[in-house]
Structure 1
Amino acid sequence: MNARHQQIIELVNTRGSVTVSELSQLTGVSEVTVRQDLNLLERDHFLRRVHGSALALDSDNVGMRMHTRYELKQALANHAAGLIETGDAVFIEGGSSNALLARLLGERSDITVITVSHFIAHLLKDAACDVIVPGGLLQKSSQSMVGPLTRYCVQQIHFHKAFIGVDGWHAETGFTGRNMLRCDVVDAVLAKGMPTWALTDSSKFGQIHPYPLSPAYQVSEVITDSGLSEETLAQLKEQNVTVTRIAQS
């Protein structure tokens, strides 16, 4: 995938729909070239083509979201990977930044990765690390395991560190998610009391989604980018959440 393809994916995801003529103007190539690009990106399930335009896919498509703000998310993943020590068992819940983290950790033979994400497990199919995938109900839209069996498996598996994805955070609600069953799995992870990081870009802060994470548990730290406002940083610290901001390139 080249830089123009990544630009097209980000434009489509940001706007929801972009015409071929707009993409031609914004990328500086002909409409014929844009149509060829869109054919390739649709084939690889990054977007959907309709007559004269490109549409964003479902927001749960992790593969697509990995290429939105790619360099920023890769920087977050690089920092998180530096926290993992030899012998660690690491739980990775899901999300695009966490998928990039998993891809980095897959190069190491001295750790174990536990994930409920089948997308991440597939990324690690040829990895040097050991990979554990808990059982449960496969939620097809997110390619994640959810439900009571998954919660039970999480309770029975021991790990040293955890990285979760979040959909939103607000001072009045705390961390929230779009999906009740995935939030239930995250609650099971947090209940174990292991050091847990929310790995997410700053666009999620200030957003509120329907399902809050349990107030009984706490995320240890947030790893995000320098786009996080000083006001939000202060609010997170008031709630005893440590924040690491990675400079945007």
Structure 2
Amino acid sequence: MLPLERQKKILDLLTIREVLKINELTEELDISVDTLRRDINLLAKQGKIEKIYGGIKLAGRFGESSMEERMIDHLGEKEQIARKCCEFIEDGDCIYIDSGSTTYQIAKYIKHRKKLTVITGSIPVIQELINSEVELIIIGGKIRKEEQSVVAYDYIFNFHELNVRRAFICCSGITVERGISDYNLEEAITRKKMIELSKEVYIAADSSKFGKDVMVSIAPLEQIDAIVTDAGLDRGYQAQFKKTATRLVIA
């Protein structure tokens, strides 16, 4: 069986069983563990499946896992990334915190910053900061329940008079060639607008997002000042980013 045929078979099986164990797949496909892992790594990089303990599952809706799953997935790395992002935040700043599981972690470390204003559409960020010293400005728009966020449209997005110093943006895919991308058009529209309005743009993303170019393009690297990620990033990607103007910050 050719690699493409095997990979299609894996996806077909997952649509029926939702979760598959490694030993089940090696028996079903009659291949070695090493061969299976190569197929799994490729499908994971393409955003089609997700690795779980001892097996794999289909990626969530349109390839995007649920907010609840992402809140605990790669949690240690996301906390490290958030702490590193906080090093770029100064007292008195007006910042944007995106609706994502990585950027949410930032909110936990800025509660006592002085004269800090946070713009956000993330309900978890709002809940984290509601009783803090931080001044909150909430994006108006439609509630996206699965993402626990508010997504805005151009006709109600009226933040042009705000002096947004730094934006901390999430994404689902990062490549040198195509920049950052995401699965949801409404989220992408909000992120595009905040990138446009902000003086400095930071992408907060764990290393699993690299090498993926998913459904909706958000911005090319030329519009991104820095990407903050974890130490698990493959050195090959680190070498690629040295050739760009976007700074790669390893937490």
Quickly say closer, same or farther: Cα 1:242–1:56, change in 2 above 3 A: closer
Tell me by how many angstroms 1:91 deviates. Answer: 0.6
TM-score by length of 1: 0.70
For residues 78 and 175 of structure 1, the distance between their equivalents in structure 2, rounded to whole angstroms, comes to: 22
For residues 188 and 121 of structure 1, the distance between their equivalents in structure 2, rounded to whole angstroms, comes to: 20
Any residues of structure 2 matched to 1:94-173 within 5 Å, and which?
A: 94-149=99-154, 152-173=157-178
Counterpart secondary structure, 2:188: helix
CA RMSD of aligned residues (A): 2.6
Aligned match of 2:87: 82
Aligned match of 1:234: 239
For residues 202 and 136 of structure 1, the distance between their equivalents in structure 2, rounded to whole angstroms, comes to: 31
The one-letter code sitting in structure 1 at the alignment partner of 2:236 is E
Q: Say yes or no: does 1:220 pair with 2:225.
A: yes
Q: Deviations over 1:25-58 (max 9, x none)?
A: xxxxxxxxxxxxxxxxxxxxxxxxxxxxxx9986
Aligned match of 1:177: 182
Counterpart secondary structure, 1:233: helix
* Unaligned residue ranges in structure 2 (runs of 5+): 1-17, 22-57
Confirm or deny: 8 A CA contact 2:139 2:152 kept in the other structure: no
* Unaligned residue ranges in structure 1 (runs of 5+): 1-15, 20-54
For residues 63 and 133 of structure 1, the distance between their equivalents in structure 2, rounded to whole angstroms, comes to: 21
Quickly say closer, same or farther: Cα 1:62–1:124, change in 2 above 3 A: farther
Runs of at least 4 residues of structure 1 off by over 6 A?
A: 55-58
Any residues of structure 2 matched to 1:57-96 within 5 Å, and which?
A: 59=64, 61-96=66-101
The one-letter code sitting in structure 2 at the alignment partner of 1:80 is C
Confirm or deny: 8 A CA contact 1:154 1:188 kept in the other structure: no
TM-score by length of 2: 0.70
Tell me by how many angstroms 1:201 deviates. Answer: 0.5
Quickly say closer, same or farther: Cα 1:151–1:230, change in 2 above 3 A: farther
The one-letter code sitting in structure 2 at the alignment partner of 1:106 is K
Tell me by how many angstroms 1:229 deviates. Answer: 1.9
For residues 245 and 101 of structure 1, the distance between their equivalents in structure 2, rounded to whole angstroms, comes to: 16
Aligned residues: 197
For residues 187 and 140 of structure 2, the distance between their equivalents in structure 1, rounded to whole angstroms, comes to: 14
Greater CA deviation, 99-108 or 153-162? 153-162
Q: Deviations over 1:168-188 (max 9, x none)?
A: 012332211111111111111
Greater CA deviation, 78-87 or 203-212? 78-87
Question: With CA pairs under 8 Å and 6+ residues apart, which has the higher RCO, 1 or 2?
Answer: 2
